[in-house]
Structure 1
Amino acid sequence: MTSDRDLEGRVALVSGSSRNIGRAIALELAQAGAAVAVHVRDSVEAGAAVVAEIEAAGGKSVLVRGDVADPQAVDAIVAAASDALGGLDILVNNAAIRRETAFADLAYAEWREVMAIILDGAYLLTRAALPMLARSGAGAVVNIGGLSAHTGAAGRAHVVAAKAGLVGLTRALAIEFADRAITVNCVAPGMIATARLAATTGGEPAHHKDHQPPVGRRGQPEDVARLVRYLAGPSARYLTGQTIHANGGLFLA
């Protein structure tokens, strides 16, 4: 059974954690006792609000800023988090952009932008964090995938490909990191009620409009966050290389 403070004394970095699922994950890990590095690229004010919320509840947090698609920036992100909080035990690769563009109109630059943030970002962050995760003795990497990586979706070839890539990366690293006591898992959220910004994501995904989970509601960011907390904690040390779906029964793996 998971205790209320099962992550006490551990340090986590959550990429893209100023809002929505990332924010919920940062708050959940902090509630469990972890010191949390809240990462943003541009949303400094929103990220600072998450840090303030954690600290107001008695937790320890720091804001780190940088582009996860930039190798030098990623090294600085991980170093800043580790220096401020005293190491790194948990990495959550959540940063993503989720645009909709018909494949015939999908420019290579947009393809690369999505790939760079979702898949390259997870590679870069995990590579930079690896020495500290290995020193942890109970390191955990949780990649945030997506339902469409398993069902497909029109107008989202770049997002689907990138998220599917995270599944493959999860499996490969779970095998490679096992002898360093690092677990690597992927959480694939389904239809989660998040505040999507039309300017950056195109608003509500078209494939959401015609579907409803069997449980009769969309998930909340906290539904995903609680699963991430479990995977990062001591009760999940025998669980690695898995993709776990949180979708209210919309897709049965």
Structure 2
Amino acid sequence: MTSNTCVVTGASRGIGRGIAVEFGERGWNVVVNYRQSEDSAAETVERVEAAGGEAIAVQADVTDVEAVEAMADRTHEAFGPVDVLVNNAGVNQDTFFKEMTHEEWDTVLDVHLDGAFHCTQALYDDLVEADEGRLINISSIIGKDGNQGQANYATAKAGIFGFTRTLALEFARSGSTANCVAPGFVETDMLADIPEHIEEAVKSDTPLGRYGTVEEIADVVGFLASEKSSFITGEVIDVNGGKDL
């Protein structure tokens, strides 16, 4: 690649932060997108820079198209064209379907699907004009398997699969790629409050017998962003400890 700039949405913590740091270790320029956690985003910037990259934090609600376009402008001002976009921003509002409100349904789909749409459109020209542009979408094992109390989340994450495969076909003419990473259960803040008996059930149902780590997800994203993945596109890469076996 002739340049080395990436945008990671939802990068103030968790998997997004781990991905941002991974790019920092590779010496990239990293745009750390966040919605409201300014202090956490600043900490991600510090970690990226400590790892060897350059970084800026840019606030933007990915459901707001004008905010996303402003983020793209800020990115171009700071670093120029983007080579890699990682659509990672997400949210969950869990409840059983019978009790789920329209607002809970809409909020989750808006963040995951509209957010990916807005960010990819805003940076589409960069990605197709890059020597080897990369679109990397973060989905979930829940998009494949479903999960009780997560009809909205499962639907959104499944939608990312179709989005990825369609963009892969449209990007192919320019030599750019689009792929998806579908993590299993990963050690993040989202799992911190899971009751111990459920945690043990999840681990026992995973052949490798444990949660994944943020670094293990970030490593796969880093590979997909590299030249070594140049003949991989339209794929959903499962990183779940063998849970689907």
**TM-score normalised per structure 1:** 0.91
Alignment match of 2:233 (pick from 232, 240, 244) = 240
SS at match of 2:89: coil
> Which residue number corresponds to residue 103 of structure 2?
109
* 2:201 partner letter: D
Deviation at 1:197, TM superposition (A): 8.0
SS in 2 for 1:39: strand
Cα offsets for 1:133-179 (capped at 9, x unmatched): 12212100000000011111011000000000000000111001111
Contact 1:9 / 1:33 at 8 angstroms: preserved in 2?
Answer: no
- C-alpha deviation, 1:208, in angstroms: 5.5
1:59 Cα deviation (Å)? 1.7
Aligned pairs (5 A) from 1:70-149: 70-149=64-143
How far apart are the structure 1 equivalents of 2:102 and 2:96? 13
Q: Match for 2:163 among 163, 169, 180?
A: 169
Give unpaired runs (5+ residues) of structure 2: none
Spell out the pairing of 1:182-201 with structure 2 (5 A cutoff).
Answer: 182-196=176-190
Measured after TM superposition, the shift of residue 98 of structure 1 is 1.9
Stretches of structure 1 that go unaligned for 5 or more consecutive residues are 1-6
Aligned to 2:49: 55
Q: Find out whether 1:32 has 2:26 as its counterpart.
A: yes
Specify which of 199, 204, 208 is matched with residue 194 of structure 2. Answer: 204
Instruction: Kindly state the Cα deviation for residue 195 of structure 1 after the two structures are TM-superposed.
Output: 1.2
Q: In the alignment, residue 147 of structure 1 is paired with which amino acid?
A: I
Give, as a single letter, the amino acid of the residue that structure 2 aligns with 1:177. F
Q: Aligned equivalents of 1:94 and 1:154: distance in 2? A: 22
Separation of aligned partners in 1, 2:198 and 2:153? 13
**RMSD (CA atoms):** 1.8
Question: Which amino acid in the other structure matches residue 202 of structure 2?
Answer: H
Tell me which residue corresponds to 2:8.
Answer: 14
SS in 1 for 2:177: strand
Q: State the TM-score, normalizing by the size of structure 2.
A: 0.94
Q: Aligned residues, how many? A: 242
Q: Percent identity, please.
A: 39
The yes-or-no answer on 1:228 pairing with 2:221 is: yes
Deviations 1:109-138 (A, max 9, x none): 111110010111001100110011122121
Cα distance in 1 for residues equivalent to 2:151 and 2:37? 26
> What residue in structure 1 maps to residue 61 of structure 2?
67
